[in-house]
A and B are shown apart, each in its own frame.
Chain A
Amino acid sequence: MAEVEETLKRIQSQKGVQGIIIINSEGIPIKSTLDNSSTVQYAGLLHQLVMKTRSTVRDLDPQNDLTFLRVRSKKNEIMIAPDKDYFLIVIQNPSE
């Protein structure tokens, strides 16, 4: 329990990190450092994106699987680490 907190704190303290969200396989946000409305929005949209990406990777090669997803946009970068049951989402403003 404490290690989880420590890990998250360490991530949060990295340069440029704007927010962290942990969602479960159904899209329910478990933990978040952002406000509720943003969390809900991110959770809903990214959950679908990860599902789609994962199915794409597996369709191309059934032996393959999605390990990490980075979405880079003009303003920031959204990094998603997917697992079977939970997703860890971090929004970072990359160093310019």
Chain B
Amino acid sequence: MEIVYVYVKKRSEFGRPCNFSDRSAELHVDLLPDPELAARFVARDPRDVAVQSVRDMSEHEVNTERFESESRGINHTEGGWPKDVNPHEMEQTIRFRKKVEKDENYMNTIMQLGSQMEHSIKQNNAIDIYQEYFEEEEEDEEELTEANEQPAAKTINVFRDPNEVKRTASSLSWHPDGNHKLAVAYSSLEFQRAPKCMNFDSYIWDIENPNRPDLTLKPVSPLVSLEYNPKDSHILLGGSYNGQIAYWDTRKGGQPVEMSTIEHSHRDPVYKVIWLQSKTGTDAFSASTDGQVLWWDIRKMNEPTERLVLDLNKKGNLDNALGAISLEFEPTMPTKFMVGTEQGLVISCNRKAKTPAEKIVCTYSGHHGPIYALQRNPFFPKNFLTVADWTARIWSEDIKESSIMWTKYHMAYLMDGCWSPIRPSVFFTVRMDGTVDAWDFLFKQNDPTLSLKVCDEALCSLQVQDNGQLLACGSQLGTTTLLEVSPGLCTMQRNEKALATAMFERETKREKILESRHREMRLKERSRSEQSKEDDSRDADREESTEDLVARAEKDFYHIIEAEFKKLKEKEEERVGMKTEKTVHWFLFLTCLATSSSGCLFGPRLHFIPKHIAT
């Protein structure tokens, strides 16, 4: 639709002067709104649009290059002596001093300064101007605020693997006195993935200095586990990837003082070494996935002092042995120790048993995967924590069938865990997705009290410092992060011990009751099967495998389905084509559900079967 207004002027009239005159408005074109066009647009709700006339700003972050600083001492020597006085000559200095003391100016000055000084000294003695008032009230207030405070953790320092090729920080150990140092063992635990140029070194870091390791330990093969000797803080024991054990003395440098001989060592990486409590302070034991637990005296490393094969049949057969991946030893119970296996069993052993067969006391099963961490609660030695597969479980020594408390199944594998040495109800775990969890089961049982994502790669090891406040976790790329937890998680709350005791007792009792009930039920079943054996010999086969049971259930089901089909077909023949296919299937499904819901053990499986019939 074109709107055209034609303005005509004769050529003969061009150039004539303009003669303006007024006239009323004329309507040339009137365009009415076309409702059809309106259909092309959508009416918009009135909106608030904020407009601000400001200069455009953008945020930038700048990080300067790392400034390396070193501490050095300064030597003070005397200076300022005039040229003619030699500071080392006593005579000359004494003479100079005597000369100054005779000076008039000196005397006046000192008198005046002296009186000023006396005044200040007397002031100090009279009243302490920096006295803390209201100290007790401040403490009370602090306690209150602490109790209401949200648990939190803060990263203090990060120690990165200085090498090009990054290795996993597989084990951490805090220095026993003072906790200023952290020993980290680096290795590549992925089978045959370690590149040829990978460095074997492990480092001891000073927590104040994340730029450079304090000491480099140079083993023959990468270290998988590393422990400080709790009695002698200069000695460290390391278990390496090739199965050997070595010990270092930090005073002697980075080379191991002594190594065990290859023939008598483990055949697989030594996943855990622990120092034992002994008079000499030189005993230790180690565990590895080759199925052996070896005892060593570090003074004589050419042969282990004792050997235990983790064969559950008690025959000492290495082929049947379960691989050990974690060890547990509590100095307060020196005769017992526990081993966590790759197969998911925890084996409790007695050290003082006479025969190797008696060494293995009992097993605890319940995990699906290798048990990466195993630790007794420092306040309640009868309860211990295991971390494996996707859960962490707490066990009581007396209940062997199952754990008394367990976390829910996580989305990522749990790699390591430990109790807090200060609070009996707090423990920490690390996961493969790089998260650290702090659990406080007196506060919340279903979820961790605090969950913090530390890094993007998997976290493989965790160790809490003796004061309970600092937490070190090592990742797959060798980055060790130091976290400080909030005071709420590391100060003992009131009645905590009593509450934790009560909780453990309650859970233990619950498991005991469940266990006894299970036993009763089993006995009843057995006696019932004994009776029915006399009646019907076929059904009483208690040893029937699950496949037979499933086959039987399927057969019964098909019978029922076919019977229903026949009935429906008859009904269809009566009614002419009114029923659609859908209703037939719906009917079938309903009847299936009705028949299968009564007393069938394998319900979920059966729901899948109608699909086969329907299609």
Which A residues form the contact surface with B (CB < 8 A)? 1, 3-4, 7-8, 10-11, 14-17, 22, 24, 26-28, 30-31, 40-41, 44-45, 67-68, 70, 72, 77, 79, 81, 83-86, 88, 90, 92, 94-96
Chain B min CB distance to A80 (Å)? 9
B164 beta carbon closer than 8 Å to chain A = no
* A88 CA / B121 CA spacing, docked (Å): 13
B100 beta carbon closer than 8 Å to chain A = yes
B19 beta carbon closer than 8 Å to chain A = no
User: What are the nearest 10 A-B pairs in CB distance?
Assistant: A26-B80, A7-B114, A81-B113, A88-B113, A27-B80, A94-B124, A83-B109, A14-B121, A44-B76, A81-B117
List 26 A-B residue pairs with CB atoms under 8 Å apart, sorted by A's residue number: A1-B102, A4-B106, A7-B110, A7-B115, A7-B118, A10-B118, A11-B114, A11-B117, A11-B118, A14-B118, A15-B125, A24-B100, A26-B80, A28-B81, A30-B97, A41-B76, A44-B76, A68-B116, A68-B120, A79-B120, A81-B117, A81-B120, A83-B112, A88-B117, A92-B121, A94-B124
* A86 CA / B81 CA spacing, docked (Å): 14
Contact across chains for A70 and B76 when beta carbons are under 8 A apart: no
Cβ-neighbour of A77 out of B76, B118, B124 (below 8 A): B124
**Chain B hits for A41, CB < 8 A:** 76
Contact across chains for B109 and A79 when beta carbons are under 8 A apart: no
Q: Please name the residue on chain A nearest to B124 by beta carbon.
A: A94
**Chain A hits for B78, CB < 8 A:** 28, 40, 44
B107 beta carbon closer than 8 Å to chain A = yes
* A85 CA / B101 CA spacing, docked (Å): 13
**Chain A hits for B81, CB < 8 A:** 26, 28
Which B residues form the contact surface with A (CB < 8 A)? 76-82, 96-97, 100-102, 105-107, 109-118, 120-122, 124-125, 128, 130
**Chain A hits for B79, CB < 8 A:** 27, 44
Contact across chains for B124 and A92 when beta carbons are under 8 A apart: yes
**Chain B hits for A8, CB < 8 A:** 110, 114
Beyond A27-B80, A86-B110, whether A81 also contacts B116 by CB under 8 A is yes
Chain B min CB distance to A18 (Å)? 11
Contact across chains for B111 and A4 when beta carbons are under 8 A apart: yes
Contact across chains for A90 and B121 when beta carbons are under 8 A apart: yes
Q: Please name the residue on chain A nearest to B106 by beta carbon.
A: A86
Q: What is the predominant secondary structure among interface residues of chain A facing chain B? A: mixed
**Chain A hits for B113, CB < 8 A:** 81, 83, 86, 88
Known: A4-B114, A7-B118. 11 other contacts (CB 8 A): A1-B102, A3-B107, A15-B125, A26-B80, A30-B97, A30-B100, A41-B76, A68-B120, A79-B121, A86-B109, A88-B110
**Chain A hits for B120, CB < 8 A:** 68, 70, 79, 81
Count A-B pairs with CB separation below 8 Å: 98
Chain A min CB distance to B98 (Å)? 10
Contact across chains for B121 and A95 when beta carbons are under 8 A apart: no
Contact across chains for B124 and A28 when beta carbons are under 8 A apart: no
**Chain A hits for B118, CB < 8 A:** 7, 10-11, 14
**Chain B hits for A11, CB < 8 A:** 114, 117-118, 121
Q: Please name the residue on chain B nearest to A36 by beta carbon.
A: B78
Chain A min CB distance to B146 (Å)? 26
Contact across chains for B114 and A16 when beta carbons are under 8 A apart: no
* A94 CA / B131 CA spacing, docked (Å): 11
**Chain A hits for B100, CB < 8 A:** 24, 30
**Chain B hits for A24, CB < 8 A:** 100
Contact across chains for A4 and B101 when beta carbons are under 8 A apart: yes
Chain B min CB distance to A42 (Å)? 10
Contact across chains for B110 and A16 when beta carbons are under 8 A apart: no
* A92 CA / B122 CA spacing, docked (Å): 11
* A70 CA / B105 CA spacing, docked (Å): 24
**Chain B hits for A70, CB < 8 A:** 120
* A45 CA / B121 CA spacing, docked (Å): 22
* A27 CA / B76 CA spacing, docked (Å): 12
Chain B min CB distance to A86 (Å)? 5
* A84 CA / B105 CA spacing, docked (Å): 10
**Chain B hits for A31, CB < 8 A:** 97, 101
Chain B min CB distance to A34 (Å)? 14
* A27 CA / B80 CA spacing, docked (Å): 6
Q: Please name the residue on chain A nearest to B119 by beta carbon.
A: A68
**Chain B hits for A1, CB < 8 A:** 101-102, 107
Cβ-neighbour of A14 out of B76, B110, B116, B122 (below 8 A): B122
**Chain A hits for B117, CB < 8 A:** 11, 79, 81, 88, 90
Contact across chains for A30 and B101 when beta carbons are under 8 A apart: yes
Contact across chains for A85 and B121 when beta carbons are under 8 A apart: no
**Chain A hits for B106, CB < 8 A:** 4, 30, 85-86
Contact across chains for B121 and A40 when beta carbons are under 8 A apart: no
Beyond A7-B111, A40-B77, whether A96 also contacts B102 by CB under 8 A is no
